[in-house]
């Protein structure tokens, strides 16, 4: 029986693209204050265009090139810091809040998230979700080696909550890294596939067809989950409470 529900953060409880938009808006403000820079909205447009057309690793470089602004590594590092340290303008979607409110009466809730600090902490604060969780694991605090797919964050979670793996469900989005650790430990895994998730385009075609072939909240396979796939798939967070009752 499941008594603890653990959530991933980005693209699970909210759409991470909203955070990216907010981060690039902050970076645009910063760049606009440089000598001879264009106005912030033009800079934001260039950043967003580069980001959404695929220059995700070098968004700042390619946008500054497009804008004709000279830069060096120091400026790029500074922009990365502005992005990661900015206070994000993001809000928790209503369906996520409804589910957290509903589940907290019946289950112990927790959060386990990878990513840079303080960015992850600032997201949690902006979304106003701290109050729902008995425990929040920022894997970064355990060391970079402990980011998913490492199971270490999950081991720490079980120890902190003093609970057994078979009573825990982990809800997350990314089939490349999220489910390997919890599957190994015997935690039940549930993938949420939000329509706006950032990883959608890069997901391998076989996974997308598996996802659409698994009807709402249905079992993705009759056996124990192994490897990288989640045992269950949902397409809306609102499907979670009913699924948890069925499991
Ligand atoms: Mg995620």
How remote is the CA of residue 62 from the centroid of ligand 1, in Å? Answer: 26
How remote is the CA of residue 33 from the centroid of ligand 1, in Å? Answer: 33
Mean pLDDT score, 33-61: 93
How remote is the CA of residue 192 from the centroid of ligand 1, in Å? Answer: 9
Give residue 195's pLDDT: 87
Domain span at residue 130 reads 4-14+91-246
Q: How would residue 55 be classed by pLDDT, with cut points 50, 70 and 90?
A: confident
Flag whether pLDDT at 54 surpasses 50: yes
How remote is the CA of residue 73 from the centroid of ligand 1, in Å? Answer: 29
Q: What is the CATH number of the domain that holds 10?
A: 3.40.50.1000
The number of distinct structural domains making up the chain is 2
How remote is the CA of residue 173 from the centroid of ligand 1, in Å? Answer: 5
Mean pLDDT score, 171-188: 97
How remote is the CA of residue 68 from the centroid of ligand 1, in Å? Answer: 34
Based on the fold, state whether residues 124 and 73 are members of the same structural domain: no
Give residue 226's pLDDT: 65
Flag whether pLDDT at 21 surpasses 80: yes
Based on the fold, state whether residues 117 and 231 are members of the same structural domain: yes
How remote is the CA of residue 5 from the centroid of ligand 1, in Å? Answer: 15
Where among 38, 67, 85 does a domain terminate? Answer: 85
Where among 62, 85, 108 does a domain terminate? Answer: 85
- Between CA 241 and CA 103 the distance in angstroms is 7
Based on the fold, state whether residues 101 and 198 are members of the same structural domain: yes
Where among 69, 85, 101 does a domain terminate? Answer: 85
Q: What is the CATH number of the domain that holds 59?
A: 1.10.150
Based on the fold, state whether residues 179 and 241 are members of the same structural domain: yes
How remote is the CA of residue 17 from the centroid of ligand 1, in Å? Answer: 11
pLDDT in tens, 189-227: 999 999 888 764 443 333 332 333 333 333 444 345 568
Based on the fold, state whether residues 67 and 103 are members of the same structural domain: no
Specify the pTM.
0.88
Based on the fold, state whether residues 175 and 156 are members of the same structural domain: yes
pLDDT in tens, 129-143: 999 999 999 999 999
pLDDT in tens, 63-116: 999 999 999 999 999 999 999 999 999 999 999 999 999 999 999 999 999 999
């Amino acid at each position: 029986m499941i008594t603890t529900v653990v959530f991933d953060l980005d693209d699970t409880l909210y759409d991470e693209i909203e955070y990216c938009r907010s981060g690039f808006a902050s970076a645009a403000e910063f760049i606009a204050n440089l000598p001879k820079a264009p106005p912030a909205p033009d800079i934001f447009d260039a950043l967003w265009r580069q980001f959404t057309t695929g220059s995700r690793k070098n968004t700042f470089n390619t946008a500054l090139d497009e804008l004709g602004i000279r830069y060096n590594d120091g400026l790029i590092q500074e922009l990365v810091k502005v992005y990661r340290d900015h206070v994000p303008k993001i809000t928790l979607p209503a369906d996520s809040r409804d589910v957290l409110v509903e589940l907290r009466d019946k289950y112990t809730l927790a959060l386990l998230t990878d990513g840079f600090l303080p960015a992850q902490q600032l997201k949690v604060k902006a979304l106003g979700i701290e109050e729902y969780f008995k425990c929040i694991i920022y894997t970064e605090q355990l060391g970079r080696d402990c980011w998913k797919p490492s199971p270490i964050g999950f081991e720490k979670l079980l120890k902190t909550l003093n609970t057994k793996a078979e009573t825990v469900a982990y809800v997350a989005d990314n089939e490349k890294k999220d489910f390997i650790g919890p599957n190994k430990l015997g935690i039940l895994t549930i993938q949420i596939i939000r329509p706006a998730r950032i990883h959608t385009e890069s997901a391998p075609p076989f996974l997308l067809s598996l996802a659409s072939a698994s009807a709402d909240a249905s079992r993705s396979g009759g056996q124990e989950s192994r490897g990288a796939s989640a045992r269950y798939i949902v397409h809306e967070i609102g499907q979670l409470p009913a699924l948890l009752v069925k499991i």
